[in-house]
Structure 1
Amino acid sequence: MIKTFFLLLFIFPAFLFSDNISLTQVEKEYLINKKSLNLCIDPSWMPYEKIEDGKHIGMTADYIKLLEEYIKTEIKLVKTDSWSESLEFGKQRKCDIFSLIMPTASRLEYLDFTKPYFDIPLVLTTQIQELFIEDINFLNGKKIGIVKDYAYAEIIKKKYPKINLFHEDNIVNGLKNLEDGKYFGFIGTLYIMDYQIQRDFAGKLKIAGKFDEKWQLGIASRNDEPLLKSIFNKAILSIPKDRKQTILNKWLSIKYEKSYFDSLIGVLTVSILVILIILLINKKLSMEIKRRKEAENLLNLTISSANVGVWSWNPKTNKNSINDVWASIIGYTKEEINQISDIFTLIHEEDIILINEALQKHNKDESIRYETEFRMLTKDGTYKWIYSNGAIVSRDKEGNPSLIVGIHQDINERKLLELEVLKQKDLFIQQSRQAAMGEMLENIAHQWRQPLSIITTVASGLKVSKNIVPIKDEDIDYAMDNIIKSGMYLSQTIDDFSGFLSKDKVRAKVNIKKVLENAIYFYQAQIKKEDINLVLNIDNCNIDSYENELLQCLLNIVSNSVDALSTFDNRKKCIIIDVYEENDKCIISIKDNALGIKEENLLKIFEPYFTTKHKAQGTGIGLYMSHEIITKHLLGQIEVRNVKFKYLGEISKGACFKLVLPKSIP
């Protein structure tokens, strides 16, 4: 029963994973220089973690071993006697990372936090005789124990100020005091409370209530070394689902089996007392029944607190079976849903194909389980985003699915947030494009002055000459040739600018040399004015990509180099561009000799709205959008570092932007 409980509890994933992590060159160099990382944990917090005989054990210990392999860097345990001491060590920078921790306002002063990899309900533990508590306000004025310096202690204190909270150094001491009657209840996480009750307090304590709050836990890193957050975010997302399940089985299922075995030994030992054997057996059976009921209630509590809808479906008969939560997610009661002949009529017609594709992949064993996201019509007439996860549990004689079971989750808020983020990114792109347009218009104005001057000079010259002496035919031909040539130059400039303004996102064969020439063309007037020497080492490289978006990125980088070099006088200025193929990738390297970027700014250069220019000269979105376009749209990589190189026999220093582009986008 307990194994089944934990299997259901973790059946749905919280993240999408990849098989390996891709660190930037800056991140790799950071880890190489760092050599090892110092780890702080909670020394008494099983089954998550504990320091035993000087060693780190528990679920997080297994996770840390995996992460250590992924980042190829040793992680050393810093021994502490309490969680409070671990937090103090973090403030003193004695710890580089914490294995499992929740962000709070005070901790954000010295820590960065990764995405959570545990999402755990908070529950209330009481003595066995207490009734289940449905309204948390019932606890007002009562003595409730809680572990000191745990993040949820701050949350509970703020949200429920009328509860009398008493702090304990650790969970075990708190539960012992609860058993002795010092407290009415003790607050903790679902897994910890269940683990401790099964091991040390079976038949004495129970879980009797739940809070709406959940404890979201991830890895924290010192915020004075921000690269750590990026590195561990990538490492966490790389942990396979089966490895996570293995860790959970190891530290949860096995522990309960041991607890059950110990309980059985206790019954056998007591049963040797012949006089009381019948009474003891009856008592044991009664306790077992009670425990089973509590386990069932706990499972229902967990599903309810996690707002998980459970369903089963027979594809042959199109018959569905659901629980109350499933119906409540879309605003109905279970009875109302049962009156609907076909539940699929509630699914948005555009999303039916997503469900069919996910079912076909799972049916053909192309995926371990059926998994998808879609929109469902709610009772109030609006659509809500649903995450659905399930598996085929039985097939008929022909091998066709006869029963599929799974869960539903309400992901509407997350989905709407994702759509808002996409909207903001589109706004960033628009702002970046407008900034680039402004710079190009200025440069086009410079380029147009000369041909316009030629046209007006030739035209006025002809008019003056006509009034003085007869004009020869060859003079007229020469003048007309100059006017036509200048007009064609202006027309070509308009065509190039119109091409950049095109909103059509069409994937096509792109010649890197041509794109670079276009980028340089827009800035040639300013390059000439600043006396900048262009050094081009461009191999013939073609890719299947989006030309306008690549052009926008190159314009941003070239513009930054020109702006940086414009601040120097009386020196040999240069921009060196190299293009070559390597490992079936196209590499573009753009460097200048403007002395480079300050080291403290290198890690921030691709952040939105970060700029070293004056407010009137830059918005700080150009390089951010270049990074977004290269990594998200063109599926490539971009990095920047300071380099030293020889130019005209002298050692020069400057910033080097390196773009790595795939030959083709899927």
Structure 2
Amino acid sequence: MVKNLFLLLTLTFTFLFSNELSLTKLEKEYLLNKKSLNLCVDPNWMPYEMIKDTKHIGMTADYIKILEKNINIEIKLVQSKTWSQSLELGKKRKCDMFSLIMPTKSRLKYLDFTKAYFDIPLVISTQIHELFIDDISHLKGKKIGIVKDYAYTEIIKTKYPFINLVYVENVKDGLTKLQNNDFFGFIGTLYTVGYQIQNDFVGKLKIAGKFDERWELGIATRNDEPLLKSILDKAILTVPKKEKQEIFNKWLSIVYEKSYFSSMLSILVISFFIIIFVLLINRKLNSEIRKRKEAKKLLNLTISSAKLGTWSWNPKTNKNETNDIWAQIIGYKKDDIKDLSDFFTLIHSEDIPLINEEFKKHENREKSQYEVEFRMLCKDGNYKWIYSNGSIVKRDKDDKPTLVVGIHQDIDQRKKLEQEVLKQKDLFIQKSRQAAMGEMLENIAHQWRQPLSVITTVASGLKISNNLNMTKKEDIDDSMEQIIKSGMYLSQTIEDFRNFLNKDRVKSKVNIKKLIHSATYFFKSQVQNKKIDLVLNIDDIIIEVYENELLQSLLNIINNAFDALNEKDIEKKCIIIDAYKDEENCIICIKDNAFGIEKENLLKIFEPYFTTKHKSVGTGIGLYMTHEIITKHLFGKIEASNVDFKYLGKDVKGACFKITLAKKMKKN
């Protein structure tokens, strides 16, 4: 008996203190027969995990790699676009396991759950100007965003039925809608919400409160193969704490670098709270001196952990106060600029009107805060881009500001990247325009053949008649008339092409009917030679737009329609262009009867370099640049669809491109 007891203690000690994976014979046979495991994940849940370029990355991805090595079997990623789609795949037994998931009543029907290996606090985020939430009951009746099908969604819905939950696809979608004021707040986990705010919503959103609940998550396995849960429970115990901490540190360090913070996570969150808290407290500075002193003390605590320059300004006296980092951002020490009476002398002259305009909007309460980006002169003589954010915290009896406080942030690298992106877009536009010019030149060549043929034929006829002494005055007059008309036609073609090349990018009032006639003019020879009916139903519409860019877009779409018709054997081919207006917009529809676009290609039609043409005739940038011009330059909308309609009494089908433009173009 003593021997058996000793053996039991030995086994217990081995299990508790060894990292070796001990599997039963059945478990080993299961893995041997299984050969590989299919893994489902949340495709958009950083820093925990996401699918990027078909690969699984994040904290759980690193964790799964360790488990894969320990159980000695390949774990394959199952591709999905949303968490809800991953759950559906699990129900259909397409997934053997889920990387990070919490048990719920509905999931227990098809999944088993291992011990938790992540313990995550839940928080609520709001827009940056909202007060902090110390009592969840204050959310009663407010719209709050939350990710659909997450386990904590069921927990929150059950425990806090007074919250009006609005479901979104993923965390970034929820925070974007929060920024757009679609709802008051968004509920998520501390690390994912903090990660997204620091990467995409700095200065826009904040973490405003937390819940008592914590989210415990582990691995889930299909419940029709119970051996897999047993194997993974053992495998989880073999992962050393050191490796777990290394994974944690690796992914959280990325968050800090991108958000300009270098301290631990708790300091990051507290610092973020304090900065916003300072701005709110300073609004009541004249009646709350004690809070002002406390806010200053708290603000000083953040300086060591945040690369933010702080400033205060009295518009009446033009007196400024800044911290050391404010000066360091532009290459100075604080003592170097303490005697500078007017900091506006450091600001680029082109940016001063914008600063004055944005401050005036805040002063007149059109905006809750002052926010602007501008260039400042550095000590080395170069200009650097600065993001400035602030609030008026004190006004006099005439409601004029007497104290404004805020922060400066170095955004020079970001601005350089933006400029590089714009440069690349300009190259795309130039390439697209060159392609459009090439197509026009080809069409012009077709149009020139007939008048050139007339000129050479008439001239040759006159020469022969003259040699045979058969020339009559009326023949000469008639021949000269034909030559003059042909020459004027050639001259007009050159003028139209030159206008396309020379027009500057200036907004102007454009007659849509004339513009569409100009666009179709370049295809006159194709209409005649290829026997394609061109039907124009165009109202008299005047809109404010970049004429040349809209013309380029129309040429791209019309040319695509001609290419599609040329590839099809159709008895009666047609291109129909409709242009009409409603109260605010101008709508242009271009459709053909070339049977339409393949369904799988409709969603990709505006992607760069996507083309269904042979590489010798298509680059794939025409429709991409058309989409860029319409949506980003003209602030409109373009949609592609397949439509059924009647033409000459017959049912036909084709592609339809619908362009919607505002009659008056907004400022850019």
Same fold (TM over 0.5): yes
Q: Aligned to 1:48, what secondary structure does the other structure show?
A: strand
The residue type equivalent to 1:633 in the other structure is H
**Offset at residue 549 of structure 1 (A):** 1.7
CA distance in 2, matches of 1:308, 1:442: 58
Query: Is contact 2:638-2:660 (8 Å) kept?
Result: yes
**Offset at residue 363 of structure 1 (A):** 2.0
- Look up the match of 2:151: 79
- Look up the match of 2:171: 99
- Look up the match of 1:466: 466
Q: Aligned to 1:657, what secondary structure does the other structure show?
A: strand
Q: Aligned to 2:607, what secondary structure does the other structure show?
A: coil
**Offset at residue 444 of structure 1 (A):** 0.3
CA distance in 2, matches of 1:545, 1:101: 32
**Offset at residue 39 of structure 1 (A):** 9.5
The residue type equivalent to 2:603 in the other structure is L
- Look up the match of 1:573: 573
CA distance in 1, matches of 2:246, 2:172: 18
| Cα deviation 1:219-273 (Å, max 9, x = unaligned) | xxxxxxxxxxxxxxxxxxxxxxxxx99xx99xxx9xxxxxxxxxxxxxxxxxxxx
Residue 167 of structure 1 pairs with residue 244 of structure 2: yes
1:595-634 matches, within 5 Å, as: 595-634=595-634
- Look up the match of 2:415: 415
Query: Is contact 1:38-1:78 (8 Å) kept?
Result: no
Q: Aligned to 1:393, what secondary structure does the other structure show?
A: strand
Query: Is contact 1:605-1:611 (8 Å) kept?
Result: yes
1:454-603 matches, within 5 Å, as: 454-603=454-603
Query: Is contact 1:39-1:98 (8 Å) kept?
Result: no
Query: Is contact 2:586-2:660 (8 Å) kept?
Result: yes
CA distance in 1, matches of 2:218, 2:381: 47
Q: Are residues 63 and 493 of structure 1, via their aligned partners in 2, closer, same or farther at CA, if it must alter by over 3 Å?
A: farther
Q: Aligned to 2:198, what secondary structure does the other structure show?
A: strand
- Look up the match of 2:123: 48
- Look up the match of 1:106: none
Count of residue correspondences: 461
CA distance in 2, matches of 1:435, 1:116: 42
Q: Aligned to 1:77, what secondary structure does the other structure show?
A: coil
The residue type equivalent to 2:497 in the other structure is F
The residue type equivalent to 1:582 in the other structure is D
The residue type equivalent to 1:429 in the other structure is I
**Offset at residue 409 of structure 1 (A):** 0.7
CA distance in 1, matches of 2:462, 2:361: 77
The residue type equivalent to 1:48 in the other structure is V
| Cα deviation 1:600-654 (Å, max 9, x = unaligned) | 2211211222222222212222112211222222222111111112223332221
Gaps of 5+ in 1: 1-33, 51-56, 69-74, 82-94, 103-112, 122-146, 150-162, 172-184, 193-206, 216-243, 254-291
Comparing 614-623 with 460-469, greater Cα deviation is found at 614-623
The residue type equivalent to 1:560 in the other structure is N
Q: Are residues 317 and 510 of structure 1, via their aligned partners in 2, closer, same or farther at CA, if it must alter by over 3 Å?
A: closer
Q: Are residues 101 and 397 of structure 1, via their aligned partners in 2, closer, same or farther at CA, if it must alter by over 3 Å?
A: closer
Q: Are residues 101 and 412 of structure 1, via their aligned partners in 2, closer, same or farther at CA, if it must alter by over 3 Å?
A: same
Q: Are residues 642 and 470 of structure 1, via their aligned partners in 2, closer, same or farther at CA, if it must alter by over 3 Å?
A: same
Q: Aligned to 2:317, what secondary structure does the other structure show?
A: coil
**Offset at residue 413 of structure 1 (A):** 1.2
Gaps of 5+ in 2: 1-80, 88-99, 103-118, 126-134, 154-166, 175-191, 201-216, 220-239, 282-292
- Look up the match of 1:357: 357
User: What TM-score, normalized by structure 1, do the two folds share?
Assistant: 0.61
Q: Are residues 354 and 98 of structure 1, via their aligned partners in 2, closer, same or farther at CA, if it must alter by over 3 Å?
A: closer
- Look up the match of 1:381: 381
Q: Are residues 96 and 388 of structure 1, via their aligned partners in 2, closer, same or farther at CA, if it must alter by over 3 Å?
A: closer
Query: Is contact 2:82-2:169 (8 Å) kept?
Result: no
CA distance in 1, matches of 2:623, 2:251: 48
CA distance in 2, matches of 1:413, 1:58: 40
- Look up the match of 2:164: none
- Look up the match of 1:119: 198
**Offset at residue 358 of structure 1 (A):** 2.3
Q: Aligned to 1:407, what secondary structure does the other structure show?
A: strand
**Offset at residue 299 of structure 1 (A):** 5.8
**Offset at residue 319 of structure 1 (A):** 2.2
The residue type equivalent to 1:118 in the other structure is I
Q: Are residues 579 and 465 of structure 1, via their aligned partners in 2, closer, same or farther at CA, if it must alter by over 3 Å?
A: same
- Look up the match of 1:445: 445
Query: Is contact 1:386-1:411 (8 Å) kept?
Result: yes
Comparing 378-387 with 439-448, greater Cα deviation is found at 378-387
- Look up the match of 1:322: 322
- Look up the match of 2:187: none
Q: Are residues 212 and 498 of structure 1, via their aligned partners in 2, closer, same or farther at CA, if it must alter by over 3 Å?
A: farther
**Offset at residue 397 of structure 1 (A):** 4.0
| Cα deviation 1:407-427 (Å, max 9, x = unaligned) | 111111111222222222222
Query: Is contact 1:391-1:405 (8 Å) kept?
Result: yes
Q: Aligned to 2:337, what secondary structure does the other structure show?
A: helix
The residue type equivalent to 1:349 in the other structure is S
Q: Percent identity at matched positions?
A: 56
1:58-457 matches, within 5 Å, as: 66=144, 76-79=148-151, 97-99=169-171, 117-119=196-198, 165-167=242-244, 209-210=263-264, 302-457=302-457
**Offset at residue 186 of structure 1 (A):** 12
Query: Is contact 1:392-1:404 (8 Å) kept?
Result: yes
Q: Aligned to 1:432, what secondary structure does the other structure show?
A: helix
Q: Aligned to 2:510, what secondary structure does the other structure show?
A: strand
| Cα deviation 1:142-170 (Å, max 9, x = unaligned) | xxxxx999xxxxxxxxxxxxx98342799
CA distance in 2, matches of 1:296, 1:190: 30
Q: Aligned to 1:595, what secondary structure does the other structure show?
A: coil
**Offset at residue 554 of structure 1 (A):** 0.8
**Offset at residue 344 of structure 1 (A):** 2.4
The residue type equivalent to 2:121 in the other structure is M
CA distance in 2, matches of 1:212, 1:483: 85
Q: Are residues 650 and 115 of structure 1, via their aligned partners in 2, closer, same or farther at CA, if it must alter by over 3 Å?
A: farther
CA distance in 2, matches of 1:115, 1:449: 66
Q: Are residues 37 and 522 of structure 1, via their aligned partners in 2, closer, same or farther at CA, if it must alter by over 3 Å?
A: same
Q: Are residues 463 and 538 of structure 1, via their aligned partners in 2, closer, same or farther at CA, if it must alter by over 3 Å?
A: same
CA distance in 2, matches of 1:483, 1:189: 77
**Offset at residue 96 of structure 1 (A):** 9.4
**Offset at residue 118 of structure 1 (A):** 1.2
User: What TM-score, normalized by structure 2, do the two folds share?
Assistant: 0.61
CA distance in 2, matches of 1:168, 1:438: 60
**Offset at residue 62 of structure 1 (A):** 11
CA distance in 2, matches of 1:494, 1:333: 62
Q: Are residues 187 and 553 of structure 1, via their aligned partners in 2, closer, same or farther at CA, if it must alter by over 3 Å?
A: closer
Q: Are residues 536 and 306 of structure 1, via their aligned partners in 2, closer, same or farther at CA, if it must alter by over 3 Å?
A: same
The residue type equivalent to 1:165 in the other structure is K
CA distance in 2, matches of 1:518, 1:164: 71
Give RMSD over aligned pairs: 4.6
- Look up the match of 1:286: none
Comparing 34-43 with 456-465, greater Cα deviation is found at 34-43
| Cα deviation 1:106-129 (Å, max 9, x = unaligned) | xxxxxxx999741189xxxxxxxx
- Look up the match of 1:129: none
**Offset at residue 439 of structure 1 (A):** 0.4
Q: Are residues 447 and 421 of structure 1, via their aligned partners in 2, closer, same or farther at CA, if it must alter by over 3 Å?
A: same
Query: Is contact 1:39-1:96 (8 Å) kept?
Result: no
The residue type equivalent to 2:151 in the other structure is K
**Offset at residue 393 of structure 1 (A):** 1.5
Q: Are residues 598 and 65 of structure 1, via their aligned partners in 2, closer, same or farther at CA, if it must alter by over 3 Å?
A: farther
Q: Are residues 210 and 395 of structure 1, via their aligned partners in 2, closer, same or farther at CA, if it must alter by over 3 Å?
A: same
Q: Are residues 468 and 209 of structure 1, via their aligned partners in 2, closer, same or farther at CA, if it must alter by over 3 Å?
A: closer
The residue type equivalent to 1:592 in the other structure is D
Query: Is contact 2:329-2:410 (8 Å) kept?
Result: yes
Q: Aligned to 1:642, what secondary structure does the other structure show?
A: strand
Q: Aligned to 1:349, what secondary structure does the other structure show?
A: coil
Q: Aligned to 1:350, what secondary structure does the other structure show?
A: coil
